[in-house]
Structure 1
Amino acid sequence: MSIPESLLKAMHAKRVVPFIGAGFSYFFGNPSWDTLLLSITRHSKINLSLSESDLKGKDPLQVAEALWQFYKKKHFADKVEKFKEQPSFKNIDDDVKLQGFLGSRVNQELLKEFNEIVVECVHENSKETHRKQPEIEKLKLLGDQSFQSIVTTNYDENLEREIFVGTEITFPGVGKELSLNEKGKVIYKIHGHISEPASIVLTHSQYYNFMHNFGYYKSKLYTIFATNVILMLGYGFRDINIHEIYFHFRKDYDGIINEVEKDQPKAFLVLTEHDKNSLGQYYELHKDFLHGCGITVLDEGFSDLPEFVEKLTSELSTYKERLDFDNILSKENYPQIKDAIKRALNREITVVTEHLVADYLKAISKIFTDPTSLMILAPDTEFDFTGQLPDRAGLRLLDSVEAIIREYSDTDYIEEYNEIIYYSMEFANDARYMINDFYYFPDRFKRFLNLCKLSTNLTLPNKLRSKFTEMFGDVLSYSSKEYGKCHGGAILLEEEGKNIPESVVKIYVEGRKKAVTNAVASGDRYGVSMRRKEIDWIEYFLRFDVYSSDFKKQLEGFVTDIKGYIDEGKLIISW
Structure 2
Amino acid sequence: MLDGLARAIHTKRAVLFVGAGVSMSLGLPSWGQLMNKIAEELDYDPNIMMGPGVNYLTIAEFYKLEKGKIGGLRSWMDREWSVDDAKLQASKVHNQIVELDFPFIYTTNYDRNIENIFKLKGMKHHKIANAKDITLANPDIAHIVKFHGDFDDDLSMVLTESDYFERLNFETPLDIKFRSDILGRSVLFVGYSLTDLNMRLLLYKMQKMWKLSGYEGDRPPSYMFMTRPDPVQQRVLRSWGVETITMDVDNVEDALPNFFETLIASVAALK
User: TM-score band, normalised by the shorter chain?
Assistant: 0.7 to 0.9
Task: Mark the CA change 1:242 to 1:45 in structure 2 (over 3 Å): closer, same or farther.
Answer: same
> Structure 1 residue 54: deviation in Å?
6.4
Give runs of aligned pairs for residues 90-489 of structure 1, distance below 5 A. 110=68, 113-124=69-80, 126=82, 131=87, 136-163=91-118, 165-172=123-130, 175-210=132-167, 212=169, 215-255=172-212, 256=214, 258-261=216-219, 264-265=220-221, 267-273=222-228, 283-302=230-249, 303=252, 304-318=255-269, 320=270
1:18 corresponds in structure 2 to 16
Task: Mark the CA change 1:243 to 1:123 in structure 2 (over 3 Å): closer, same or farther.
Answer: same
The question of whether the paired residues in 1 share the 8 Å contact of 2:118 and 2:125 is answered with no
> Structure 1 residue 221: deviation in Å?
0.7
Q: If you compute each CA radius of gyration, which structure gives the higher value, 1 or 2?
A: 1
The question of whether the paired residues in 1 share the 8 Å contact of 2:81 and 2:111 is answered with no
> Structure 1 residue 16: deviation in Å?
0.7
The percentage of aligned residue pairs carrying the same residue is: 22
Question: How many residue pairs align between the two structures?
Answer: 263
CA distance in 1, matches of 2:238, 2:48: 35
Task: Mark the CA change 1:253 to 1:35 in structure 2 (over 3 Å): closer, same or farther.
Answer: farther
SS at 2:47 equivalent: coil
Task: Mark the CA change 1:168 to 1:235 in structure 2 (over 3 Å): closer, same or farther.
Answer: same
Name which of 48, 58, 70 aligns with 1:66: 58
The question of whether the paired residues in 1 share the 8 Å contact of 2:224 and 2:243 is answered with yes
CA distance in 2, matches of 1:34, 1:250: 32
Unaligned runs of 5+ in 1: 76-109, 277-282, 322-575
SS at 2:70 equivalent: helix
Deviations 1:37-57 (A, max 9, x none): x334433136342289969xx
Task: Mark the CA change 1:117 to 1:220 in structure 2 (over 3 Å): closer, same or farther.
Answer: same
Task: Mark the CA change 1:237 to 1:131 in structure 2 (over 3 Å): closer, same or farther.
Answer: farther
Task: Mark the CA change 1:238 to 1:129 in structure 2 (over 3 Å): closer, same or farther.
Answer: farther
The question of whether the paired residues in 2 share the 8 Å contact of 1:40 and 1:121 is answered with no
Task: Mark the CA change 1:142 to 1:65 in structure 2 (over 3 Å): closer, same or farther.
Answer: closer
The question of whether the paired residues in 1 share the 8 Å contact of 2:187 and 2:223 is answered with yes
CA distance in 1, matches of 2:207, 2:36: 34
CA distance in 1, matches of 2:85, 2:134: 35
> Structure 1 residue 305: deviation in Å?
1.7
1:44 corresponds in structure 2 to 41
> Structure 1 residue 142: deviation in Å?
2.3
Task: Mark the CA change 1:176 to 1:73 in structure 2 (over 3 Å): closer, same or farther.
Answer: closer
Task: Mark the CA change 1:73 to 1:258 in structure 2 (over 3 Å): closer, same or farther.
Answer: same
Amino acid at match of 1:9: R
Give runs of aligned pairs for residues 76-95 of structure 1, distance below 5 A. none
CA distance in 2, matches of 1:213, 1:9: 29
The question of whether the paired residues in 2 share the 8 Å contact of 1:193 and 1:199 is answered with yes
CA distance in 2, matches of 1:215, 1:287: 29
* Cα RMSD for the two superposed structures: 3.2
The question of whether the paired residues in 2 share the 8 Å contact of 1:27 and 1:132 is answered with no
SS at 1:254 equivalent: helix
> Structure 1 residue 159: deviation in Å?
0.9
Amino acid at match of 1:292: S
